[in-house]
Amino acid sequence: MSEEPHTVIVESPNLDTASARGAAAEFLTQHCAWADLDAVLLVVSELVSNAVRHTSGWWRLHLRAERESLVVEIDDSSPQPPVPRDPDFGGGGGFGWHMVLRLANRVEIRPLPEGKRVQAVWERPSTPATV
């Protein structure tokens, strides 16, 4: 018997980056204790911050725990994909997208009819076989 994935959705404009991080932390504690909380929260922060900063409309954060993975998705109203920039050590940013790509096991960008979806996936670590 397979277990149904658990999902939580956080939507704008009611919630901000801090609220999205709080929802993600609670979700991981309940459904994905194996996931690296700090890494996931950094990615959630970056994806939500980018949606707030670079879109003029809505955003929606999805978190889904599947049997072998954790999926974090953000849909937003902008059709423009994230663009990596050279980091600016003088305070001008450019670190976030590189961080997302490095922290998640896999990142995909898909067009939506009214925007795009950025998906970050973490694979559940395999557990050693018991003897």
Confidence at residue 33, expressed as pLDDT on a 0 to 100 scale:
93
Q: Give the integer Cα–Cα distance in Å for 98 and 124.
A: 22
> What is the three-state SS of 53-89?
HHCCCCEEEEEEECCCEEEEEEEECCCCCCCCCCCEC
Q: Give the integer Cα–Cα distance in Å for 84 and 5.
A: 32
CB count in 10 Å sphere of residue 120: 23
Q: What is the DSSP string of the chain?
A: -PPPPEEEEEETTT--HHHHHHHHHHHHHHH-TTS-HHHHHHHHHHHHHHHHHH-SS-EEEEEEE-SSEEEEEEEES--PPP-----BTTTTB--HHHHHHHHSSEEEEEEETTEEEEEEEEEPPPPPPP-
**Residue 105 CB contacts under 8 Å (≥ 6 apart), including other chains:** 121, 122, 123
Confidence at residue 3, expressed as pLDDT on a 0 to 100 scale:
56
Confidence at residue 1, expressed as pLDDT on a 0 to 100 scale:
40
Averages of pLDDT over each 10 residues, the chain, 131 residues: 65 78 93 95 93 85 93 93 81 82 96 95 80 54
Confidence at residue 83, expressed as pLDDT on a 0 to 100 scale:
84
